[in-house]
Structure 1
Amino acid sequence: MRSSSNHYQNRFRLIVNVVLIALQLGIIGLVILQFSEDAVVAYWIIEGVAVFVVLNIVYRKKTAAYKISWIIFVLAFPAVGIVIYFIWGRQRVPKKSKKRWDEVNQRTFLRLEQNQAVLESIDDKSIRKQVELVHRLSDLPVWQNTRTTYLKLGEDMHRANLEAIKTAEKFIFLEYFIVTGGKMYDELMAALYERAAAGVEIRMLVDEMGSLSTLPKDFYQSCAAHGIKSIPYNPFSPSLFKFISFRDHRKMTIVDGRVAITGGINIGDEYINQKVRFGHWKDMAIRLEGAAVFSLTTMFINMWDYSTGEISQLDAFKGTAAPETGNELVMPFCDGPMNPRNPAANTYMTIFANAKEYLYLTTPYLILDTDLTNCILLAARSGVDVRIITPGIPDKKLVYATTRAFYGDLLAEGVRIYEYTPGFIHGKVLVTDDQVAIVGSINMDYRSLTWNYECGTWVCSSPTVQEIKADLMDCINASREVHYSDWEQTAFLTKVGQAVLRIMAPLM
């Protein structure tokens, strides 16, 4: 199987090289034959600039996949590629924004300290190292005295949201990527209006681009009329790169610093299967009650203060009562373009590297870079039972085609891939070795792992881990397994198209 996969890879590399050379020679020939001497000089100037741009790409601290994509694009279409790279590809955070972010961090993340007694209670050395790494990457600690409840459907999450909101006495924080009008929205807002009338402080942060075409037109006016503070994250600006790239993809509701619900579920009727778009919508979330909620509260205050310029008193939003839960370990963490340590990607790679028996995960978008791919392949090569569940019915056809473009290498090394036959699986869940699980907003794609603000909840030594495993086994049983022989039968031109999509994936 491996030799067949390598054969296609080598053939594709040859085709890419030939096409690039042909493009360059063709452009040179056209310039010489059809244009003036000045145009020839202009062309070589552009080629010279392209070389410097490529050198800039090579020396930047980015993944190999990202570099390769831009190098090919700039060399193939130098005039257009150079301009688009400077507008789109450098991913530079303005110094002013970074300074403001660092100032907010001093008042939020950097005030959270790791409870050494909790850390020292972890007997398993590999788990302890994992916890220490995530803490160093995200500045967020691991907690005990937190009870977790797995919510395996959007309907369950919506009920948990409403139940928690109805108990609020002090404050409610909500942060969502997509907010869409409908039954789910109406019930949520009715519950919020009721608590606002009772004097509960409510803040709501909605991503501007994620909700650009879905947010009810009177949303902000209605919130203001009911005493709810609501703001758009990263509103539309002339900098299209900043507007499109730096998105708040998190989903969370926090009540009184005591209860939090977070995961992959937005506000919209498709998430609770009241509106059928792509078959059955399978999504997951997790409910936290206890000490670890403070990490999610800190994430929200961090983003709110950064977006508004306010200075919130973090300690005023800390919960009081925390349930006794024995040895259950809970570690919410977050990521975003301001953090160069890449907590999400490095956390996943650490888990992949430490898996011993099995590794099951779900993702709506499987668009991997070289590092993640190699970690998954190493796990499979070492005998770990690796299974990945992707949608059976796509929400975006181009992204779905790109997801399938990554199947070949994985299948060739024994990774088992399942497409969720009933519909669209939007959950972002991982479980391994009956020990560790993650439920979050993080897709297995370049955008989530590089550009978006994301969050996840790492759970260990908890009954929740077994519940997640059971749910993923149910998903597998409801799915169609994709075999390597299926991929081999794909038409050659389709594979060439998939290979092109893989090259362009980091630019999407």
Structure 2
Amino acid sequence: MNHHLRFILGKVLYIILFVTIQAAALVIMFFYFRDKFAYFYLICILLSLAATIHILNNTSSNPAYKIAWLIPILLFPIFGGLLYLLFGKYRMTKRERAAGQAVQRQISAIMDIAPPSGQTALDILEQQSPEAALHARYLFRSSGTPPCGHTQTTYFPIGETMYAAILRELESAESFIFMEYFIVDEGIMWDGILEVLERKIRQGVEVRFMYDDLGCLFTLPRHYDRILREKGLRVCVFNPFNTILSPRFNNRDHRKICIIDGKTGFTGGINLADEYINAYEKHGHWKDTGILLRGEAVWSMTVQYLALWDFAAGEEDTFSRYAPPADWIAQIPHDGFLLPYTDIPLDEELVGETAYLNLINRSEDYVYITTPYLVIDNEMITSLCTAAKSGIDVRIITPHVPDKKTVFFLTRSYYEPLLKAGVRIYEYTPGFIHAKTMVSDDTYAIVGTINLDYRSLYLHLEDAVWMYRSSAVKDVKYDFLNTLTSSQEMHLEDFGHLSWPKKLWLGILHAFAPLV
């Protein structure tokens, strides 16, 4: 079945029809209340007033996010408040809250178990580097997983090499395979993985697969989960896209995780689609990165995976069943300290942004960043500018070939204040860079799924790995410097004078940047 026919018969058509019906319902409501418009208008104004008060009283929200919602409420008082109630704030149901608390208790119980030596990796880290322990302690308290030793790392500077490694590791699976991805697209990459998964299922390996419904909206057929279940996979579709009129629409599972037997784990920016391994050219050469962990830290990834699975699927696993043998972990040599962490928007703790800010603010020599999008809040701009003005070598690589022209235009608009402060910005000229990395002082690095934009930092479920003195840190730095040779440095004079329509459009984009 070709893509055009799949589009006609697939779920996209149902969503378009559903949205059209809802729009028609709003028009009918308007004409129905025409004779009593004064009452209808008063109710809408009261809703907008209530929404405004709620936004202003929400001390945990970023000011830019507040402004982005206050503007439509002021411009469209009739429906502005209603829009905010529908999209602006997601509150968990009683069942979801209870399930989330139960999972969190299980995570805490597992992670609080003291090791046989009585000394945790955090204790050792505090002795070796109190400053590094500050980073780790925050991530431990905010995401629930501690720093780990006894873990080897392999950094992948391109999707093709990571794909080959995933295939090799999947072939070695003996007990279970857990996978979780934002985008899955039928093609060379996914077909190769699926073939191995089906074979492993026949060998008795448990295979779980979780994917985001909206992320796969245009890439997978309708009811694809049924197809996978028929092949023997346990499948969870995260946040099914049944209606646009829900704040859940904004919270997507942007994580990319692959775990084999609780011993090996992968994460990074690489989804399961052919452009990520340059099997075909979508936006020029696709530059992406990832990391493999082997050892103790993979247990943290396993716990994080099961926690979200149980929350999304309404199940209750015994996490300890999937723990790797303690004697096997003890044989893995130390390679610095690793801390896999997640960021979940429902807890209103900005783990992803805070981890980045901690690294930037504590840098002494340099901080190098790759990100596909640069749509940042005042806190991030201030940190980057302050670091550069303090003499820190701050460099950022973004794409030269955009995947979304509006976001690309918005990304470039943030260059000016950064360049004026001394931040050096480069664009990857061969194509699109999708990597999300940060490395500092030959000591710290972060590799994961977290973009420097509002959606990643505020709305999406994300994951990453924090590293201290791991061998992968120098590999991340080397890859950044190597990527610079294929990138064009940007200067203020590279951007001509904007026409007034573009300035107007840019002003609108900046106002609504937290919602883009």
TM-score (structure 1 length as normaliser)? 0.88
Is 1:452 aligned to 2:460, yes or no? yes
Deviations 1:206-240 (A, max 9, x none): 11111122124574344333322122111133463
Say which is worse superposed, 67-76 or 134-143, in terms of deviation: 67-76
Is 1:181 aligned to 2:186, yes or no? yes
- Cα deviation, residue 51, structure 1: 4.3
Is 1:171 aligned to 2:182, yes or no? no
- Cα deviation, residue 158, structure 1: 0.7
Aligned equivalents of 1:247 and 1:330: distance in 2? Answer: 26
Structure 1 residues 43 and 302, CA gap change in structure 2 (3 angstroms): closer
Does the CA-based 8 Å contact 1:447-1:506 persist in structure 2? yes
- Cα deviation, residue 133, structure 1: 1.0
Say which is worse superposed, 218-227 or 395-404, in terms of deviation: 218-227
Decide which of 304, 309, 316 is 1:299's aligned counterpart.
Answer: 304
Q: How does 1:399-414 map to 2 (within 5 A)?
A: 399-414=407-422
Is 1:211 aligned to 2:216, yes or no? yes
Q: How does 1:219-238 map to 2 (within 5 A)?
A: 219-238=224-243
Deviations 1:173-194 (A, max 9, x none): 0111111000111110111111
Report the counterpart of residue 421 of structure 1 in structure 2: 429
Structure 1 residues 42 and 219, CA gap change in structure 2 (3 angstroms): closer
Does the CA-based 8 Å contact 1:180-1:216 persist in structure 2? no
Pairs aligned (count): 473
Report the counterpart of residue 3 of structure 1 in structure 2: none
Report the counterpart of residue 80 of structure 1 in structure 2: 79
Say which is worse superposed, 80-89 or 188-197, in terms of deviation: 80-89
Aligned equivalents of 2:455 and 2:467: distance in 1? Answer: 24
Is 1:245 aligned to 2:244, yes or no? no
Does the CA-based 8 Å contact 2:153-2:472 persist in structure 1? yes
Decide which of 468, 477, 489 is 2:485's aligned counterpart.
Answer: 477
Does the CA-based 8 Å contact 2:49-2:81 persist in structure 1? no
- Cα deviation, residue 143, structure 1: 0.2
Structure 1 residues 41 and 318, CA gap change in structure 2 (3 angstroms): closer
- Cα deviation, residue 395, structure 1: 0.8
Aligned equivalents of 2:198 and 2:223: distance in 1? Answer: 14
Aligned equivalents of 1:499 and 1:407: distance in 2? Answer: 15
Decide which of 54, 57, 66 is 1:59's aligned counterpart.
Answer: 57
Aligned equivalents of 1:228 and 1:48: distance in 2? Answer: 49
Decide which of 404, 413, 417 is 1:396's aligned counterpart.
Answer: 404
Is 1:197 aligned to 2:205, yes or no? no
Deviations 1:426-464 (A, max 9, x none): 111111111111110111111111111110001111121
Runs of 5+ in structure 2 lacking a partner? 1-33
Aligned equivalents of 2:319 and 2:36: distance in 1? Answer: 63
Say which is worse superposed, 482-491 or 37-46, in terms of deviation: 37-46
Is 1:315 aligned to 2:315, yes or no? no
Decide which of 500, 506, 512 is 1:504's aligned counterpart.
Answer: 512
Aligned equivalents of 1:110 and 1:392: distance in 2? Answer: 47
TM-score (structure 2 length as normaliser)? 0.87
Say which is worse superposed, 227-236 or 269-278, in terms of deviation: 227-236
Report the counterpart of residue 119 of structure 1 in structure 2: 122
Aligned equivalents of 1:394 and 1:226: distance in 2? Answer: 37
Deviations 1:142-178 (A, max 9, x none): 0000000001111111111100100000000011111
Query: Secondary structure in 2 aligned to 1:79?
Result: coil
Is 1:258 aligned to 2:258, yes or no? no
Q: How does 1:333-482 map to 2 (within 5 A)?
A: 333-482=341-490
Report the counterpart of residue 8 of structure 1 in structure 2: none
Structure 1 residues 179 and 298, CA gap change in structure 2 (3 angstroms): same
Report the counterpart of residue 90 of structure 1 in structure 2: 89
Aligned equivalents of 1:235 and 1:171: distance in 2? Answer: 25
Q: Which one-letter code corresponds to 1:408 in the other structure?
A: E
Does the CA-based 8 Å contact 1:261-1:285 persist in structure 2? yes
Aligned equivalents of 1:327 and 1:223: distance in 2? Answer: 37
Report the counterpart of residue 17 of structure 1 in structure 2: none
Does the CA-based 8 Å contact 2:122-2:146 persist in structure 1? no
Query: Secondary structure in 1 aligned to 2:131?
Result: helix
RMSD of the TM alignment (CA)? 2.2
Aligned equivalents of 1:39 and 1:170: distance in 2? Answer: 64
Aligned equivalents of 1:95 and 1:389: distance in 2? Answer: 43
Aligned equivalents of 1:387 and 1:366: distance in 2? Answer: 13
Say which is worse superposed, 359-368 or 42-51, in terms of deviation: 42-51
Say which is worse superposed, 52-61 or 454-463, in terms of deviation: 52-61
Say which is worse superposed, 403-412 or 249-258, in terms of deviation: 403-412
Say which is worse superposed, 97-106 or 290-299, in terms of deviation: 97-106
- Cα deviation, residue 120, structure 1: 2.6
Does the CA-based 8 Å contact 2:225-2:237 persist in structure 1? no
Structure 1 residues 499 and 417, CA gap change in structure 2 (3 angstroms): farther
Report the counterpart of residue 269 of structure 1 in structure 2: 274
Deviations 1:386-417 (A, max 9, x none): 11111111111111112122222212211111
Deviations 1:235-287 (A, max 9, x none): 13346334421211111110000001111111011000001110000111000
Aligned equivalents of 1:503 and 1:366: distance in 2? Answer: 15
Report the counterpart of residue 14 of structure 1 in structure 2: none
Query: Secondary structure in 2 aligned to 1:393?
Result: coil
Is 1:133 aligned to 2:138, yes or no? yes
Aligned equivalents of 2:76 and 2:493: distance in 1? Answer: 36
Structure 1 residues 324 and 494, CA gap change in structure 2 (3 angstroms): same
Does the CA-based 8 Å contact 1:169-1:256 persist in structure 2? yes
Aligned equivalents of 1:174 and 1:80: distance in 2? Answer: 41
Q: Which one-letter code corresponds to 2:513 in the other structure?
A: A
Does the CA-based 8 Å contact 2:450-2:462 persist in structure 1? yes
Runs of 5+ in structure 1 lacking a partner? 1-35
- Cα deviation, residue 327, structure 1: 5.1
Decide which of 283, 286, 290 is 1:281's aligned counterpart.
Answer: 286
Query: Secondary structure in 1 aligned to 2:466?
Result: strand
Aligned equivalents of 2:156 and 2:227: distance in 1? Answer: 30
Deviations 1:75-103 (A, max 9, x none): 12222322211111123333432222111
Does the CA-based 8 Å contact 1:405-1:499 persist in structure 2? no
Q: Which one-letter code corresponds to 1:117 in the other structure?
A: T
